[in-house]
Structure 1
Amino acid sequence: MPLNLRLRGSLLGSLHFGCLVLAQPSVDPCYNYTVLDNPWRDTTYGSGSNCDQSVSWSGWYRLFINTVSAHIPDTCVAYGHCGTNIALWIRGGHPTVQDGVVTRDVCGYAGSYCCYYGSYPIKVKACPDNYYVYELVRTTLCSSAYCAVVSSINTSYTAVTPATISTVYPSVDPCYTYTVLDNPWRDTTYGSGSNCDQSVSWSGWYRLFINNVSAHIPDTCVAYGHCGTNIALWIRGGHPTVQDGVVTRDVCGHWINYCCYIGSYPIKVKACPDNYYVYELVSPTLCNSAYCAAVTNISSTTTITPETSTAGNVV
């Protein structure tokens, strides 16, 4: 189906001493956007072959469904809705007006996981009259498309908080009750392979070693075809400090020029006093994918800020 876009102009005119004075257009995307009103984007619509990967996106967009203002869902949308196969939603909740422009991750459901497919992040802004505008970008795969939902919102309220996994502190400290994971092929310097962690019966907490040296899961992007597998898994959000206790981190895999194209189930991480980390690992979403291990000097007393990449670039 053709993409239906209508430009909403912002150039205003006013009479001044009998003359028409043209005001300069505002740069605020709340008043400079393109209308995106395809009926098939509605979350109540079934599957289809629509794909936003081929659209020449430019600037900011406001969503409508049947002339009613809509927004991209910030909760999981099941496979086969919104006139496509991979229905795209945003993770992290919508901002408030006070937040200004924020960046949000884009997710797509598959394989019983709400963020199985990642897509390039987009920018979002809440506008004073209770609507949102989005700086949309090309998606990572076909058939995938941005969804739209019509529901009551209030952009002046606190941003939506996404559901999180419970991080109840274990009764036994995992820093001293872990299983050693020391496959040499997990090293980030190792090439590709057919190893797959999906078939492993994971249980409890693990500490990584490479050639008897303490290692950790990378928290920056690992390129495709490393760590003895195809989809090399890394964690996003940085490692915690000892003071942080147990935290939850998203697991990502690089593919098709995007560092988090493949999402996998989140894992729990804990920093230990002697400068090492332990991980509560779970089966990833697909083969061939496996957790990587990196040997570098890091301190568990200082939070690591992960590097980020622009869309299409590997960090």
Structure 2
Amino acid sequence: MSGRTVILVGYFLHLTKAVYFCNVADPCGQADSTQFHEPYARFENCPHNNNGFCDRYIIPKWYRGNDDILTQCPQLLSCGTLYPVWLNGTLPTISDGVVNREACKVGFDSCCTKTYNIQIKNCGSFYAYCLAALDNCPERYCFGEQGTCEIPTTFAEFTGPTTNRQIAEPDTKHGHGTLEILLGIILAVLSVILFLLLFRQLIKLKKGRGKTGSMADTKITKTRVNPVFIEKSEDSPSYSP
């Protein structure tokens, strides 16, 4: 297989892995019925204020943005996050259908320190975006240049008509503590099992040595007794009538 073929196959697998969740029959319908993940303060003019928002926890699917995704490089600490992500390309027309695009993460060194593969479709009255979950926090997709940065205390999430979710920073400390407790329990159980196995093997080893020693003593006794018996037999006088 040639080097060019390997590169093409790798690139195809990368794209397939990134956008497999975008393969739905009606992208516009799914986007229109799905509320955007943490939709507030995504404008370019919204500063990062440690609100805990992060698109690492986004469910990869089609979303309807209230504003167009940003198509120019924003500054760090904008779009309500430390590392904003913007569209490095153009928005499609209706005739384009579903298009593949590249989103860029703004970093300290450049406007595109990392790329993400996304898909976009022009649905006429709005754009549908098939967005992948981002790798780290705090990173967010940017939508719109100017807008309100107000964050309500609660907002409705599209999991049912009466379902509300309180905005809060992900409880990473609690998660790490629970994980450490589980790992400690697992290690303790494994230690007990290992100790029992070693103790059982030690008992078997001692029993085996005891049997071996007893058999050896029996053989030595027989070896010592037999010659005495033979000597007595040779020394006894013969009987003649």
Structure with the greater alpha carbon radius of gyration: 2
Q: TM-score, normalised by structure 1?
A: 0.37
Q: Which one has more relative contact order, counting CA pairs under 8 Å at least 6 apart?
A: 2
Q: In proportion to residue count, which structure has more strand?
A: 1
The normalised TM-score by structure 2 is 0.48
Instruction: Give the number of the structure whose residues are more often helix, by fraction.
Output: 2
